Amino acid sequence: MSSAINFFDKELVSVAFRNLKSQKLRSTLSILGIVIGIAAIIALISLGEGLNASVQEQFQQLGTNTLTILPGGGFAESVLAELQRDDPETIEKVRGIESAAGIYMSAVQIEFKGEKKTAIIFGADPERAGSLEAAGMVVVGEGRDLVSQDRRNILIGSRLAEDFFEEEIHLRETINVNGDKLRVVGILERARHFFGAMFNNSIMTTLDDLERLAGEELTPFRIIVNVADGQDLDEVKERIEKALEKEHDKKDFQITSPAQAAETAGSVIGIIQLVLAGIAAISLVVGGVVIMNTMIMAVAERTHEIGVLKAIGATNNSIVSIFLMEAALIGLIGGIIGVSLGIGISQLASLIIGATMGASFEAAVSPSLILLGLGFSIIVGVLSGLIPAVIASHLDPVEAMRHS
């Protein structure tokens, strides 16, 4: 053989494959280590890419002229912080605002045909609810929308209507909410994005009715702002910040645009994806150690065979080639199975996530990701087999032939 290792040599591939078949159990365990690592990496990366793409799409569906006001200066603060009741009115006075809808919420006990459950009920001022419809959050599919004059009339989410109780809820039927009978006048379309998914399993009513049911005055847990066409979103955002800071005497709120939220979400998803892929890579390293251990044991068991090969003229390079090819085949076979398994897991997970969230979600499996998985598995295999191959090539032929 030439001084260079030729991994495309058919005879070399045949010999290496035959050697692996003669050690089926060890080869299978070595391949399994690669399969687990590659499958985990492919599944996690493809799900992460799919999630990122889906989140970006969801934010785009909110529209380029939508702002969201949340309580608190950060995630931890938002748990305890509150917006003020008159914040929607304050925001609507800002130049460039078309409408601002405060969303209020409370947990309630609901009963339908003798079946009792706990659900979330949302309330909003019907005159301002156009912001929610413009953002694709609250869109009536059957029946009619709420109006200011409505009393004890409600809208219900599509999932609450179809799947929440054993029997499906239809228009004009009544639901007992906290002991009060409310009439269904509309059923909402299933939300087109994650941010409206909270309405799928919930009830929507007027703010007046919600506060009557809750027995207290409520503050909005978020405000959806619809900016007028032709307005600069950043300038309007600054004007809202100044108006709310003046009313609150401090900045205890957050204002996010779809673009900003998408960027933040993308960064968070990227970090999570990197950490999870790193954890998965650890299992791949373990698989590499298993391959190395297998190859070292193979060298010990085949010492006599190596001695014979060297005695009949096999060079060190030939011996190295045989063991590296075996390791590369383990990596390749494990990579092919691992990539296939990873794609299957990611597709199944995407179906489950999409069904659970009530929005479209698809794992992103690109050709480059498949090639990366296969290349990585082969590299791990070759590197893991390098030390055993060098050990085999340096065996003394006379001593090796004496080994039985």
Q: Is residue 227 located within the same domain as residue 97? A: yes
Q: Is residue 232 located within the same domain as residue 354? A: no
Nearest to 296 by CA among 308, 288, 307: 288
Q: For the chain, how many structural domains are there in total?
A: 2
Measured distance between the N- and C-terminal CA atoms of the chain, rounded to whole angstroms: 27
Q: Is residue 284 located within the same domain as residue 350? A: yes
Type of residue numbered 304: H
Of 251, 279, 295, at which residue does a domain stop?
251
Q: Is residue 172 located within the same domain as residue 274? A: no
73 in a domain, yes or no? Answer: no
Query: Could you tell me the maximum CA-CA distance found in the chain, to the nearest angstrom?
Result: 101
How far, CA to CA in Å, does 153 sit from each of 110, 129, 209, 373?
Answer: 14, 15, 9, 56
206 in a domain, yes or no? Answer: yes
Q: Is residue 89 located within the same domain as residue 228? A: yes
Q: Is residue 246 located within the same domain as residue 281? A: no
Q: Which domain holds residue 104?
A: 82-251
Q: What is the pTM of this model?
A: 0.60
Q: What whole-number distance in Å separates Cα of residue 109 and Cα of residue 120?
A: 9
User: What's the CA angle centered on 324, arms 323 and 329, to 5 degrees?
Assistant: 100
Q: Quickly list DSSP for 314-343.
A: --HHHHHHHHHHHHHHHHHHHHHHHHHHHH
310 in a domain, yes or no? Answer: yes
Tell me the three state secondary structure of residue 106.
Answer: strand
Q: Is residue 94 located within the same domain as residue 233? A: yes
Nearest to 136 by CA among 89, 202, 198: 198
Q: Is residue 225 located within the same domain as residue 359? A: no
325 in a domain, yes or no? Answer: yes
Tell me the three state secondary structure of residue 54.
Answer: helix
3 in a domain, yes or no? Answer: no
77 in a domain, yes or no? Answer: no
Q: What whole-number distance in Å separates Cα of residue 326 and Cα of residue 19?
A: 8
Q: What whole-number distance in Å separates Cα of residue 44 and Cα of residue 269?
A: 11
Q: What whole-number distance in Å separates Cα of residue 395 and Cα of residue 108?
A: 78
Q: Is residue 200 located within the same domain as residue 87? A: yes
SS3 annotation, 127-153: CCCHHHHHCCCCCEEEECCCCCCCCCE
Quick one: pLDDT at residue 358?
A: 55
Q: Is residue 125 located within the same domain as residue 217? A: yes
Give pLDDT tens digits along the chain (404 positions): 444 455 556 777 787 778 777 777 778 888 888 888 888 888 888 888 887 777 777 666 666 688 888 887 665 555 567 899 899 999 999 999 988 889 999 999 999 999 999 999 999 888 877 667 766 678 888 999 998 899 999 999 998 999 899 999 999 999 999 989 999 999 998 876 666 778 888 999 999 999 999 888 899 988 988 888 888 888 999 999 999 999 988 888 888 877 776 677 777 777 777 777 777 777 777 777 877 877 777 777 777 777 777 777 777 788 888 888 888 888 899 899 999 999 999 888 888 877 765 556 778 888 888 998 888 888 888 888 888 778 877 777 666 566 55
Nearest to 151 by CA among 178, 128, 180: 180
User: What's the CA angle centered on 29, arms 23 and 30, to 5 degrees?
Assistant: 85
CA 159 to chain centre: 22
74 in a domain, yes or no? Answer: no
**Residue 95 CB coordination number (10 Å):** 10
Q: Is residue 93 located within the same domain as residue 231? A: yes
Q: What whole-number distance in Å separates Cα of residue 363 and Cα of residue 365?
A: 6
Of 208, 228, 251, at which residue does a domain stop?
251
Quick one: pLDDT at residue 119?
A: 92
Q: Is residue 219 located within the same domain as residue 136? A: yes
How far, CA to CA in Å, does 282 sit from each of 6, 288, 289, 291, 342?
Answer: 30, 10, 11, 14, 16
Q: What whole-number distance in Å separates Cα of residue 34 and Cα of residue 130?
A: 54
Number of helices (H) and strands (E), helices first, in the chain? Answer: 13, 10
Q: Quickly list DSSP for 292-306.
A: HHHHHHHHHHTHHHH
4 in a domain, yes or no? Answer: no
Quick one: pLDDT at residue 325?
A: 85
Q: What whole-number distance in Å separates Cα of residue 302 and Cα of residue 393?
A: 12
Of 198, 225, 251, at which residue does a domain stop?
251
What are the residues facing 225 on neighbouring strands?
67, 100
Quick one: pLDDT at residue 193?
A: 66
Q: Quickly list DSSP for 28-52.
A: HHHHHHHHHHHHHHHHHHHHHHHHH
Q: What whole-number distance in Å separates Cα of residue 283 and Cα of residue 390?
A: 25
Nearest to 158 by CA among 135, 178, 184, 177: 184
Quick one: pLDDT at residue 230?
A: 85
Q: What whole-number distance in Å separates Cα of residue 126 and Cα of residue 207?
A: 8
- DSSP at 195: G
